[in-house]
Chain A
Amino acid sequence: MEFLVASAIGVLTAAGMYLVLRLRTFPVIMGMSLLTYAVNVFLFASGRLTVGAPPILGDGATYTDPLPQALVLTAIVISFGMTAVIVMIALGAYLGADDDRVDDPKPQDETPTKIEDAP
């Protein structure tokens, strides 16, 4: 079971990384989402895997580690906020420039910006 979870984290990370390296915004957003899953599961797994012992106090004698769960819960919600902001930025860039490429054109060294006022 540990192997399954670890390999799932690995597959999610690899796929996420591959998509993050693409050149258009939408695949990058998809890749970030996959990385988010990977990171959340990774953090969650730092409490080690326990089956059938949710951290709800009751008759049970053992409970799984509640702390990573609390951390990951807020992480899931925050990652929604983050995804939404990135999507909005990507959308704004696309609507503004009619282009959804991720990379900037090369900066031009020939035209330095003005730094000194004319005396």
Chain B
Amino acid sequence: MTEQDILVRLVEDSEMQACNLFHNKLYKKSRSFEQWQWEFKSNLYNSSSVPFAVAVNQGQIVGTQALIPIRMIDRTGVYWTAKSEETLVDPQFRGNKLFERMYTVLFNYAKEHNYVNIWGFTPAAKAFTRLDFSISARTEQLFIPFSQKAISMLLAKGTSGTQSTIKRSLRNIVAHAGGRIAQSVAAFKISMQRRVKLTGLKLENICDPTDETAEVCQRFIDRWGGRTIYRDSNYFKWRFFTNPYVRSNIAGIFFEKELLGWVAFSLGDDGMGYLIDLMVNGDESRISTESLVRELLLEAVIRTRNMGAYGIRSWHVNEHPFDRIVTRVAKKVGFFHIKRGHAFVLYDCDGGSSRSAADNFNEWYITRAFTQGLHG
């Protein structure tokens, strides 16, 4: 078998079920076809073809690489980017440059469709750097344990198979002791928080997509600069309200019926609470941004705890001014900052224009909404 025996191209409708089965077989998962379709086919770009590359050998799927089109916004307007997803090559077919070949198909697709850049999160950044992706930063965690189970889960995710039993046991004992202290400190800090009391200010669930979210997004960028996902009603509908995995709860903060911001949170299938998204744009003369952020963080913390979460996790990614505020307030509310996460990789499709260049990564405002939505 030579490299050329393996066909690399965009997926055809008749192969979509097989792509999902390929993923399920390799990862031992039970993702439904409906979930596959939501993730890759029902995207917001409305293109006739799906940016999902496949490697096919004798009619069998042996590799996949996908892009999820995501619309972003900066001060110059709204533009399209794509999230890299579903990087998978059958172990038997490694060494055939399938990853590179699939990405060649997708780079062409991105160019044709005017995507400004391609980005993603990966534990295997090396493969991406070979394709001229740059590693811009790593995600970091903001974390509150509500119970000891949260510590066990965190440890399980970070356990390396090469560690000796003694070393692992010692690490567990220390982590659990630290976890107990963290739990108590966080519980104390949460109980000490006083909710903002301002006539006209109230929290309400957002249960349907609304155009107001796009306005908040626009004002957010006007104020804080940089770039972030354009969270209009279509995005909310797709990303949150029709998410076939877990639908986030979204608490909006309103001042006299005007939406100032929101927090999206969920309970993942693993029992952990996740702070998925947080965005605020208020009028400092009425109430400070910090106060609004604190209100929303507390709402997410208390409600995920009431949902039975073992803990709650959020992201701190870079030095975007709003991300810095969120991190600062989160620590006051009881979150702990853990420097562990995945690499953020970025590829410029338009030849390094200021909009997409990797060296201004601190201008990106990133939340867990940038993930593909498995946890909400």
A binds B: no
B residues lining the A interface (CB < 8 Å): none
